[in-house]
A and B are shown apart, each in its own frame.
Chain A
Amino acid sequence: DIQMTQSPSSLSASVGDRVTITCQASQDISNYLNWYQQKPGKAPKLLIYDASNLETGVPSRFSGSGSGTDFTFTISSLQPEDIATYYCQQYDNLPITFGPGTKVDIK
């Protein structure tokens, strides 16, 4: 199975700050990498697919980059409604695997 790691596991930032999360795959997954947002008590929501493509309706402050084994997810200006846990997920090989998540809150 492909192992996904994320860092940091949690972070606190101020409203308006730029927030960056990294995700690393245990082997080359090309760009088969998605990012999801999960708010407490809610289902996950797809934000970024294929490493860098913004899902329809998702605010442009969210972005993703990377390929191969190293990926980055960025919130350009953190908003209060962005409080959530963010997961990366690879789908290059079955089983689909998720990173452990990064919990983002407001300082």
Chain B
Amino acid sequence: EVQLVESGGGLVQPGGSLRLSCAASGFTFSSYWMHWVRQAPGKGLVWVSRINSDGSSTSYADSVKGRFTISRDNAKNTLYLQMNSLRAEDTAVYYCARDRGFTMIVNYWGQGTLVTVSS
């Protein structure tokens, strides 16, 4: 069974940093692209970032480019999102999600971790 378990969310002040982790199990992690998608409270889904299977290629939404860094450790079956220079508008539930392969179709999602940026 595919499982994605996010951690690392919490309350952080504007301008601060946070690193999210996503522990993957139930599939060959190193074979799949992975994504981060966020959802502000009461709002819709927003794609944040994508990383290819070996970590050599990444993509970002313009709203986070230069501030967030996606990475992965295939030996540890773990996906990361380093978030720097956080803003109030980054407040959201952050979902780790697995691609179908290398298709940009997301077919498995974690339960999400809440990041709140506030003073």
A interface list, Cβ under 8 A from B? 1, 32, 34, 36, 38, 42-46, 49-50, 55, 87, 89, 91, 94-101
Contacts and interface: CB of A to CB of B under 8 A. Distances in A.
A43 B104 contact: no
Contacts of B103: 91
Interface of B: 35, 37, 44-47, 50, 59, 61-62, 95, 100, 103-107, 109-112
B50 to A, nearest CB: 8
Nearest to B61: A95
A55 B109 CA distance: 14
Given A43-B95, A95-B61, A55 B47 contact: no
B45 A95 contact: no
B106 A46 contact: yes
Given A94-B59, A95-B61, A49 B44 contact: no
Given A46-B106, A46-B107, A91-B105, A98 B95 contact: no
A91 B110 contact: no
B42 to A, nearest CB: 11
B66 to A, nearest CB: 15
Contacts of A42: 111
Nearest to A101: B44
A66 B111 CA distance: 31
Contacts of B110: 43
